[in-house]
């Protein structure tokens, strides 16, 4: 409860980042002129003291630092000790969801009047980063809080908001979103169909690869509602479907090569009768809502990718400093040093790009193409870093007991979900050649 109270105390600072940063810069300049020492390094990664670029980030204020320390402590105490057990179970505990809610780590972006924390996107990014620094990908907090909840907060009715958001913020109601279908991965190819029946809707179809799907209490379902629309994009709507609704069934829990503690499932809808108030927003506006929210989803993936790169790099740097071969540590080998130099440089470049994107998003200036660039480039980088860092671990990197092995398999999904990187390039390319 301490952190939740702390979050509320820090709220003004978290909402007014730009003003505080300007003041900090001014005070820092004045202090330098008086010969005062620079402000202390911010604890922005799990190995802050050893990261040579740790002082280059300028996007957080003191309140963010307090929030980060609290988030880090939560993952260290409530997630890391239990994650191996969750990997075997294929899902995390419901208890950790409720604890995250108590600590103010869910619904960080959701307005306080809706039952959320009401902080800024930089605060949400702290939770993304700290989860990746813990190397524990099981809890689907970011999907729940920063991808699914915005649909309800931004497009839901007052009744829907009051009914679902407080429980979602508390971790009592776990959210998922049903977009992807078997054999169809583009939103305009959706076949799940909802037709009117009086004031109700009858929903039929199925979804696959749904993260949080097995544990979900509420699913935002993408469905066609007008087959005669002038284009597929003009005939899509969103529905809120609760677990336990007659005709809604969860299929098997899918076994993946990575993200082993994160539950992923198939969802089936057979003649599911939904009341009129299950429609989220306006009918046939679903594609518009999805396009509005997808940039944030891609930014979440990018933020987690860069943080994962930083984690893997530090794990590897520490390993090569200790591992000996040919009578010396392998860190003394020129080829190893050159590999580390290349990786470090690219990670720093990715960090700067992401920080710029998150600031643009905080100012509501991040466009879809730039978000796509961030997602594709950082997730590709994450896989490059994972491959080369595992290689530097040698045979031990292939052993599950080493953190780099888990980070390696967890990285592989990043260029796939949230829109494949091939699709990201398509979107970027179209934007480049679009005639004004």
Q: Angle at the Cα of 143 (from 139 to 144), degrees rounded to 5?
A: 85
Active site residues: 297
Task: Label residue 281 left, alpha or beta by phi (over 0 means left) and psi (-120 to 50 means alpha).
Answer: left
Please name which of 165, 178, 257 lies closest in space to residue 213, comparing C-alpha atoms.
178
Q: Which two tokens stand for residue 8?
A: 């509320």
CB 176 within 8 A of CB 147: no
- What's the sign of the alpha-carbon dihedral 384, 387, 389, 392? negative
Residue with tokens 């109270």: 5
> Distance between CA atoms of 22 and 25, rounded to whole angstroms?
5
CB 295 within 8 A of CB 366: yes
Radius of gyration over every alpha carbon of the chain, rounded to an integer in angstroms: 22
Residue with tokens 């390696």: 408
Residue 342's beta-bridge partner residues? none
> Distance between CA atoms of 24 and 27, rounded to whole angstroms?
5
Q: Indicate the length of the chain as a whole number.
A: 436
> Distance between CA atoms of 149 and 296, rounded to whole angstroms?
12
What distance lies between CA 27 and its chain's CA centroid? 34
CB 153 within 8 A of CB 116: yes
Q: Which two tokens stand for residue 223?
A: 């469905």
Q: Which two tokens stand for residue 228?
A: 């005669």
Please name which of 187, 263, 196 lies closest in space to residue 231, comparing C-alpha atoms.
187
CB 403 within 8 A of CB 135: yes
CB 274 within 8 A of CB 241: yes
Please name which of 161, 151, 170 lies closest in space to residue 220, comparing C-alpha atoms.
151
Residue 197's beta-bridge partner residues? 200
């Amino acid at each position: 409860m301490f952190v939740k109270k702390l979050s509320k105390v820090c709220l003004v600072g978290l909402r007014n980042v730009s003003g505080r940063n300007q003041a900090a810069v001014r005070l820092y300049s004045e202090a330098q002129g008086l010969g005062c020492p620079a402000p202390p390094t911010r604890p922005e990664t799990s190995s802050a003291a050893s990261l040579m670029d740790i002082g280059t980030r300028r996007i957080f204020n003191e309140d963010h630092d307090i929030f980060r320390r609290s988030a880090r402590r939560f993952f260290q105490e409530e997630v890391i000790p239990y994650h191996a057990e969750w990997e075997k179970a294929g899902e995390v505990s419901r208890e950790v969801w409720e604890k995250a809610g108590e600590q103010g780590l869910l619904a960080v972006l959701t307005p306080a009047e809706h039952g959320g924390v009401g902080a800024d996107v930089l605060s949400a990014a702290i939770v993304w980063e700290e989860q990746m620094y813990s190397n524990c990908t099981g809890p689907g907090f970011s999907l729940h809080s920063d991808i699914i909840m915005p649909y309800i907060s931004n497009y839901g009715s007052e009744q829907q908001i009051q009914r679902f958001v407080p429980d979602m913020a508390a971790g009592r109601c776990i959210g998922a979103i049903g977009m992807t279908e078997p054999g169809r991965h583009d939103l305009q190819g959706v076949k799940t169909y909802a037709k009117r029946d009086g004031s109700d809707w009858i929903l039929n179809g199925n979804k696959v690869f749904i993260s949080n799907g097995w544990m979900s209490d509420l699913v935002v379902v993408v469905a066609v509602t007008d087959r005669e629309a002038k284009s597929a994009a003009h005939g899509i709507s969103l529905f809120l479907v609760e677990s336990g609704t007659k005709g809604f069934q969860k299929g098997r829990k899918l076994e993946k090569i990575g993200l082993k503690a994160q539950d992923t499932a198939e969802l089936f809808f057979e003649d599911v009768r939904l009341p009129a108030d299950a429609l989220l927003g306006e009918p046939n506006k679903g594609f518009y809502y999805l396009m509005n929210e997808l940039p944030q989803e891609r930014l979440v993936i990018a933020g987690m990718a860069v943080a994962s790169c930083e984690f893997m790099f530090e794990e590897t740097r520490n390993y090569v400093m200790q591992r000996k071969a040919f009578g010396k540590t392998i860190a003394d080998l020129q080829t190893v040093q050159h590999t580390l130099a290349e990786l470090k440089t690219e990670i720093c470049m990715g960090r700067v790009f992401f920080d710029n994107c998150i600031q643009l998003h905080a100012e509501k200036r991040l466009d879809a193409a730039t978000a796509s660039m961030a997602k594709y480039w950082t997730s590709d980088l994450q896989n490059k870093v994972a491959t080369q860092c595992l290689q530097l671990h040698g045979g031990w990197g292939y052993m599950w007991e080493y953190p780099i092995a888990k980070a390696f398999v967890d990285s592989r999904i990043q260029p796939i979900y949230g829109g494949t990187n091939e699709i990201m390039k398509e979107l970027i390319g179209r934007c480049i050649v679009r005639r004004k």
